[in-house]
Structure 1
């Protein structure tokens, strides 16, 4: 986690004050975490900013063309300017032809662009699978203990981890432990001897045949009840999970298909990860309601929350209903779990936000929600340009670095919006570690909430108008420590209004949002806050 900028007198001081025992009388949403009703500012896993990379699509290969000998014979090498296209089924390999189209990106290329990732404000680099496999997405592992040669070597991974940690960032790998690739030596051994011990590591149907995940013949399912599988994945001294944390400095895992893996397996995996690194992060791919997973995971990919945001933007939900749904989700898990969960608007499994939300102003609202709601925003590579892309494989296009250069020069670009929101999160740490409180307004179309904090100067009020019409509303400010006539200033637009009797009157243009903070003075002149923390 990067050092906090406290030059403005804010930052982590107020959180340390809370830890010294400052008491407040506010009511907060969520169960107490280890430090109370807020998060723990010393825990890098809470409210971190994640940047997701598909290695093959991120940086063009040095020298222009990748070494064809590093790829399987089924591979087709594409030009970096090519766009992914839906292909045809290859019976020989049990995959679609677009799954073996490659653009040539590798770990050295990712290392060369760490400055860009850090400049966006990222605290975490998350890599899609990097282990030896047939396909470009690499969710069909052949060997968990071998980096895919097209991506590089163990030395390349170690150098990348060092580069990440030198920037006070963290590295998360993608763990695909629900299934393997059909061409993996382990599965081929099971096929050769269906009655042997290796065969017992894979799930079988009533007729004795091996079961492919979701009908994909290239993805035979591992039997997670098998002791041999548990030993290989997390139990053994040199198991996959332990090995990469201990030997490569990996800080945690994103678990593919976690919703199918079962609580006992996930619990054992998390225990093993924590034995290697106490503050390791285990985030599961969960497309369900968030409650119920906090006993076996540190957080989830908040796909339920993503659906709330998208449904708010398209008018399916009004603001009041979206807020009530979000509050219920936080209450179901507690604030600690919510803060460690990844707020996803798009990734390798979904259409890009540019395809789902055509309005630029609406996308700005979505991004502001992603950066202000409780959780850890997860940025999918290219969202800062932004890249276009519909369903698979369209949303996995190669990164356009020329577009990055143009976006950097455009003050109104989505890249510069992301940088600005990152700076606001640094300046107002309650957006990272703060609690969550639903806010009521006179207009149910608005989605309003507060990010609460031990110090009143740290509190943030967010007011969102996702509709296509301008809205005027009276907003309740549910914090008794915010005094009457306190200026509330928007960190995006510069607008300022004063509270009166615990309310704030706002005027919001269509598809807009405000991030409002109280101006409690600096204490040098008269202030109502002289005795208010």
Structure 2
């Protein structure tokens, strides 16, 4: 029995210690490639590529302690570990995943653990958080022991998962700390850990981020500002609505009225589709959106209004029609870009594929016919239009860095990195080191983000929080107590990174939250939570007016066109959203304050956000019966 192997633990500046875990699987004849998938990369190919050694595929990763779910992708085929008898169905509402997976238990031993590191000893806004972990049920009481003049501080039992419990104490000040722990075990023994002496970890997030409320726009669906027919080449029959960057400039007054002060645009570079996640030229603004001149004007107008801008970087794959891939398709093994992509054989596409591509049929007919053929390259979710980049290539890394720096120099304030969980973490760490300190980097990581933060990204799109929100507010699967435990467990896992996470109720890849809960009051209660919790809140265009999408519509379910007829707006949602944004922007306690649970019981949650003398109290009484949903936010 091979199973996964744990080659010991090593100290880690993020998590105190991590396990070196080797995963392997029999190679089998004729197989071309293999990837490790798991809850650490949203079961996505690309990030943890396996190497073939003899008759097995292998890879080693560093993982924090805990229970991890995993599988393999062999030539694109999802495969649980055939040598590990422990399997469970792993389900995530947030990215619609439910499959039988293998289970890896990473456990460093029975004794309680602490090491000065980013998640066990850190400072935020002038206070210091100290955490201790222990096997679930092993410790009945934990006390933080300070030098004699400062005394002892009881530690709160913060959260619990299937293996561990976490205890926390919060202290004033952010300087070097000398401390130890007094621990009472389940057997009644009193033990000491320490002493420790360390400077708490201080996050390196750009300070401007904490003061922002983001507004996400998919340009094609927002507003049209240019006259005439959009220029540029696209798939005919694609569901293009004609929005452009001039339309965004036209509606900047709406963003100011709403009160948002940061903008996230889905891809705006040359592409063949309305969504533009298949880029053909990374150094050009899509002519269908107005081109470079309009982008320059947009940047100028945003800076006048102190609205920050982050762009969407698609570096997991390019378009089939990108010149580099076209050269590979044309020249084959002679192409100088053959190492730029994950090619599995030549020619990369059969002659029939090219004949259909250049035929006179409609784009949709061509697309569907080509989809049914085989091709010799890895791609995003086996979509022929999106060939996967070879992230091991120095040239690819140089290219990605060049694109990111180019647009930061031309007015962008940061990047949201698409399919970030499908790109090796070390590539993002390399990019992070190369970028200016003031550039906000947020990755699309749809599950546990620990392998990616805080060294690769300042934060990620907060899918673990979204999962909890769905289970409590939308599905009613968990009560307030379970919701709180989930929040506090996420806090224990992420530490100060939680304050820089990009939080949302919906986005361009999800159904509209209003559609999911089906009622204005339930939506507003969830929005009140989002605006008063830790992390950077965001609004998806149209949420503020009650824009509806369609349930069960897949990735495009929420991509409805913005409605500009005010007579069709939900004015209660609009006015409440404005009030909550104003509250968020003027409150340092909501931006960086400590989260203090008061009561989480049944479907009621009461908590405070505290920073210095400022204390904000939030009460949300939620019900699956809409008329019973209310929230109150009390400020000094």
Give the structure-2-normalised TM-score. 0.62
Does 1:162 find its partner at 2:300? yes
Task: Give the superposition deviation at 1:303.
Answer: 1.4
Please provide the CA RMSD for this pair.
Answer: 3.0
Does 1:128 find its partner at 2:266? yes
- In the other structure, the counterpart of 1:212 is 379
- In the other structure, the counterpart of 2:389 is 222
Does 1:71 find its partner at 2:210? no
Question: Which ranges in structure 2 are unaligned for 5 or more consecutive residues?
Answer: 1-123, 129-149, 157-167, 176-199, 349-375
- In the other structure, the counterpart of 1:245 is 408
- In the other structure, the counterpart of 2:147 is none
- In the other structure, the counterpart of 2:544 is 384
- If each structure's strand is expressed as a fraction of its own residues, which one has the higher value? 2
The change in CA–CA distance for 1:467 and 1:154 in structure 2 (over 3 A counts) is: same
Q: Which of 521, 526, 530 is equivalent to 1:370?
A: 530
Task: Give the superposition deviation at 1:444.
Answer: 4.1
Is the 1:374–1:432 Cα contact (8 Å) retained in structure 2?
A: yes
Task: Give the superposition deviation at 1:271.
Answer: 1.5
Task: Spell out the pairing of 1:446-485 with structure 2 (5 A cutoff).
Answer: 446-455=604-613, 458-468=614-624
What is the count of residue pairs matched by the alignment?
Answer: 421
The change in CA–CA distance for 1:436 and 1:194 in structure 2 (over 3 A counts) is: farther
The change in CA–CA distance for 1:137 and 1:423 in structure 2 (over 3 A counts) is: same
Does 1:174 find its partner at 2:174? no
- In the other structure, the counterpart of 2:476 is 315
Task: Give the superposition deviation at 1:48.
Answer: 1.9
Task: Give the superposition deviation at 1:514.
Answer: 2.5
The change in CA–CA distance for 1:287 and 1:106 in structure 2 (over 3 A counts) is: same
Task: Give the superposition deviation at 1:361.
Answer: 1.1
Structure whose CA Rg is larger: 2
Q: Which of 540, 559, 565 is equivalent to 1:402?
A: 565
Task: Give the superposition deviation at 1:184.
Answer: 1.1
- In the other structure, the counterpart of 2:632 is 514
Task: Give the superposition deviation at 1:72.
Answer: 2.0
- In the other structure, the counterpart of 1:258 is 420
Rounded Cα–Cα distance in structure 2 between residues aligned with 1:18 and 1:388 = 42
Is the 2:525–2:622 Cα contact (8 Å) retained in structure 1?
A: yes
Task: Give the superposition deviation at 1:50.
Answer: 0.4
C-alpha distance after superposition, 1:295-335 (max 9, x if no partner) = 21111111111121121122101001111111111221112
Rounded Cα–Cα distance in structure 2 between residues aligned with 1:187 and 1:17 = 51
- In the other structure, the counterpart of 1:85 is none
- In the other structure, the counterpart of 1:338 is 498
C-alpha distance after superposition, 1:46-95 (max 9, x if no partner) = 252100111111112444xx425x132633xxxxxxxxxxxxxxxxxxxx
- In the other structure, the counterpart of 2:91 is none
Rounded Cα–Cα distance in structure 1 between residues aligned with 2:203 and 2:521 = 31
Is the 2:618–2:631 Cα contact (8 Å) retained in structure 1?
A: yes
Task: Give the superposition deviation at 1:415.
Answer: 1.1
- In the other structure, the counterpart of 1:493 is none
Does 1:45 find its partner at 2:209? yes
Q: Which of 111, 114, 122 is equivalent to 2:249?
A: 111
- In the other structure, the counterpart of 2:603 is 445
The change in CA–CA distance for 1:211 and 1:232 in structure 2 (over 3 A counts) is: same
**Could you say what secondary structure the match of 1:150 adopts?**
helix
The change in CA–CA distance for 1:221 and 1:147 in structure 2 (over 3 A counts) is: same
Rounded Cα–Cα distance in structure 2 between residues aligned with 1:242 and 1:37 = 28
Task: Give the superposition deviation at 1:31.
Answer: 9.3
- In the other structure, the counterpart of 1:416 is 575
**Could you say what secondary structure the match of 1:254 adopts?**
strand
Give the structure-1-normalised TM-score. 0.73
The change in CA–CA distance for 1:41 and 1:254 in structure 2 (over 3 A counts) is: closer
Is the 1:39–1:339 Cα contact (8 Å) retained in structure 2?
A: no
The change in CA–CA distance for 1:16 and 1:282 in structure 2 (over 3 A counts) is: closer
Rounded Cα–Cα distance in structure 2 between residues aligned with 1:16 and 1:263 = 28
- In the other structure, the counterpart of 2:5 is none
Task: Give the superposition deviation at 1:353.
Answer: 1.4
Is the 1:291–1:332 Cα contact (8 Å) retained in structure 2?
A: yes
Rounded Cα–Cα distance in structure 2 between residues aligned with 1:191 and 1:468 = 54
Is the 1:131–1:148 Cα contact (8 Å) retained in structure 2?
A: yes
Rounded Cα–Cα distance in structure 1 between residues aligned with 2:169 and 2:461 = 19
Rounded Cα–Cα distance in structure 2 between residues aligned with 1:160 and 1:62 = 13
The change in CA–CA distance for 1:453 and 1:38 in structure 2 (over 3 A counts) is: farther
Task: Give the superposition deviation at 1:215.
Answer: 0.9
